[in-house]
Amino acid sequence: MNRSADVVVIGAGILGCAVGFELSKRGHDVIVVDKLPAAGHGSTSKSSAIVRFQHSTFDGVALAHESARAWFDWPTYCGVEDELGFADYIRCGSLTLQSASRDPSEYRTHFDRVGVRYEELDVEHLARRFPYLDLGDHGPPQAPDDSEFDRPAERQLTGAIFTPDAGYVSDPRLATHNLMRAAQHHGCEFLFSTAVTAVPTSAGRVAGVGLAGGHRIDAPIVVNVAGPHSFVVNRMAGVADDMTMTTRALRHEVHHLQAPQSLDFNAVGTTVADLRNGIYIRPETGNTILVGGEDPECDPKVWVEDPDVFDRNLSRSVFEAQAFRLAKRIPSLAIPDRAEGVVDLYDVTDDWIPIYDQSSLPGFYMAVGTSGNQFKNASGVGHLMAELILAVEAGHDHDTDPVHVEMPFTGLELDLGFYSRHRQTNPDSIETVLR
């Protein structure tokens, strides 16, 4: 089975489908290839799917603000019916807790510049509005076996920033299916249960992809959107040595805990970024609280060399770290004996900022290193990558003169040099999934 196309996209997660959708809308003959049996069945399916605007950089805030517009009216963005229905956007808001050790002005500055709606809450207002939260400053985060873990907080938080338009997507796999249907409507083809085994070249340019079974797809453009497998694909293409910023696969867990009986968390809950406690939370169906870790320094990181082989079982130590920290913030929480949750991989860069770029191999592009927080930016990333590819293929020298892209919803102009593979580690980025 030898085929040809204008573009091959490797990976049918939420971002791969978005790239396929945006390129197909622009008239390209696109084939999206994935080794799994359906769209969104990889790390996308395990995403917490939180839509938030709290980033430590202007570019992060701007891209999130732009991309949220698609989630606000997801069926219209997709522009086609889906027999499975559409994923819902739950606009529950997002709360970023503040302490004396963290200056909230960086958020305010970016929010004001971009146009993100927000409220500043002092401790008294925070206590009235979210009475189920303990307002102690429990930082810095500690492991549960640390002798200081149970020590009462010596001071309170200083307040919080609340962004009312934030929230989460109800079903990340369904949202990906929606994008697949949208892409198919414009002629994009999907090949599932099909592994990419090689990235051949011809005359110094990418020539397509080799597939398991000895087949291939000939194409002058290939886009690596392979998630935690991205570094494997980059090695196939021979482009990894050119990159200053690289990616690795990081194992992560999130857990589901029943909310206290007295708390209807689905009704009154919000997403919470709790940097001083090392966790984030959001409501989950069935009056459940989803809790994940912010990768604080005290938690060991489990880097994975082979993204096809890692421990998919929940860890008691990770569960206890997340659950016990959550119990500090919601004291009425009951800790179950049995852990429930999901395990998967993040595709992480050195500074937790993604790479949206070309590569040293002409025709080979990358949307990688999404670091567990780019699900929310699917529509924006699809647009950025499509515009980048069009510009470079038309002869623009992106490495010396980075492409600038005007975003369709907000009109904001984004400098794609920010996402370069050649950048140095960004000193303004917090090294956490919630950066």
Same domain, 48 and 104: no
Tell me: pLDDT of 255 over 50. Answer: yes
Bridge partners for 344 per DSSP:
252
Rounded Cα gap, residues 6 and 423, in angstroms: 29
Quick one: 19 and 143 in the same domain? no
Please tell me the predicted confidence (pLDDT) of residue 106: 76
Domain that holds residue 334: 90-169+248-348
Q: What mean pLDDT is predicted for residues 281-294?
A: 96
Residue 104's pLDDT band, with cuts at 50, 70 and 90, is: low
**254-264 average pLDDT score:** 96
**Which residues are CB-neighbours of 92 under 8 A, at least 6 positions away?**
166, 167, 168, 269, 270, 271, 282, 283
Same domain, residue pair 242 and 252: no
In this structure, the answer to whether residues 164 and 304 fall within a common structural domain is yes
Question: Which of 365, 376, 355 lies closest to 30 in space, CA to CA?
Answer: 365
Would you state the pLDDT for residue 150?
A: 92
Residues 225, 368 contacting (CB under 8 angstroms): yes
**Domain assignment present for 429:** no
Mean predicted confidence (pLDDT) in 8-32? 98
The SS3 of residue 33 is: strand
Q: In the chain, how many domains are there? A: 2
Q: How many residues does the chain have?
A: 435
69 and 9, same structural domain?
Answer: yes
Whether 396 and 413 map to the same domain: the answer is: yes
Shared domain for 336 and 361, answered yes or no, is: no
* pLDDT confidence of residue 429: 55
For 321, list phi and psi in degrees, rounded to 5.
-60, -45
Q: Would you say 244 and 424 are in contact if contact means Cβ atoms under 8 Å apart?
A: yes
* Strand, helix or coil for residue 267: helix
Instruction: Give me the mean pLDDT over the 295-305 stretch.
Output: 95
CB-based burial, 54-83: b 16+ in 10 Å, e otherwise = bbbbbbbbbbbbbbbbbbeebeebbeeebe
**Confidence check: pLDDT of 4 > 60:** yes
Asked if residue 426 belongs to a domain, the reply is no
The 50-51 sheet, strands edge to edge: 50-51, 167-169, 89-90
Could you tell me the CA-to-CA distances from 102 to 56, 129, 160, 335 in Å, in that order? 12, 22, 11, 29
Cα-based distances in Å from 275 to 32, 83, 252, 431: 37, 40, 17, 11
Average pLDDT over residues 154-177: 97
For 203, the token pair is 């005359």
Q: 183 and 79: one domain?
A: yes
Q: What is the pLDDT of residue 12?
A: 98
| CATH code, domain with 130 | 3.30.9.10
Residues 27 and 124 placed together within one structural domain of the fold: no
Distance CA 392, CA 412 (A): 21
pLDDT of residue 433: 47
201-228 tens-digit pLDDT: 999 999 999 999 999 999 999 999 999 9
Residue from 17, 6, 15, 8 nearest 368 by CA: 15
430 pLDDT higher than 60: no
Return the CATH number at 64: 3.50.50.60
Burial 228-250 (b: 16+ CB within 10 A, else e): bbbbbbbebbebbeebebbbbbb
pLDDT tens per residue, range 52-71: 999 989 999 999 999 999 99
Above 80 in pLDDT, residue 103?
no
Confidence of residue 425 (pLDDT cuts 50, 70, 90): confident
| CA gap 6, 194 in Å, rounded | 19
What average pLDDT does the chain have? Answer: 95
Terminal CA-CA length for the chain: 44
What pLDDT shows up at residue 435? 47
Q: The whole model's pTM is what?
A: 0.96
Pairwise pLDDT comparison (186 vs 428), residue with the higher score = 186
What pLDDT, on a 0 to 100 scale, did the predictor assign at position 3? 94
* Other CB atoms within 10 Å distance of the CB of residue 27: 10
Taking each helix axis from N to C terminus, what angle separates 378-393 and 58-72, rounded to the nearest 10 degrees?
Answer: 110
Averaged pLDDT, 405-409: 97
- Is the pLDDT at 278 greater than 80, yes or no? yes
Model confidence at 100, pLDDT cuts 50, 70, 90, reads confident
Q: Is residue 176 part of a domain?
A: yes
Q: Are residues 234 and 133 in the same domain?
A: no
Residue 268 pLDDT greater than 50, yes or no = yes
Q: What is the mean pLDDT of residues 242-270?
A: 96
Residue at a domain's end among 325, 348, 371: 348
Residue 426's pLDDT is: 66
Alpha-carbon span 167 to 334, nearest angstrom? 25
Same domain, yes or no, for 136 and 261?
Answer: yes
Q: Which of 191, 355, 252 is nearest to 43 (CA)?
A: 252
Q: Does residue 428 sit within a domain?
A: no
Between CA 271 and CA 168 the distance in angstroms is 8
Whole-number Å distance between alpha carbons of 212 and 198: 9
CA distances from 366 to 28, 296, 396 (A): 18, 28, 17
Flag whether 432 is in a domain: no
Domain end, chosen from 298, 322, 348, is at 348
Other C-beta atoms lying within 10 Å of the C-beta of residue 288 = 18
| Same domain (yes/no): 61, 207 | yes
* Of 176, 131, 432, 94, nearest in space to 292 by CA: 432
pLDDT at 431 over 70: no
Helix (H, G, I), strand (E, B) or coil at 32: strand
Last residue of a domain, which of 326, 348, 370?
348
Mean pLDDT, to the nearest integer, of 26-34? 98
Share of the chain above pLDDT 90, in %: 94
Q: Classify residue 421 by burial, with Cβ atoms within 10 Å: 0-12, 13-18, 19+.
A: buried
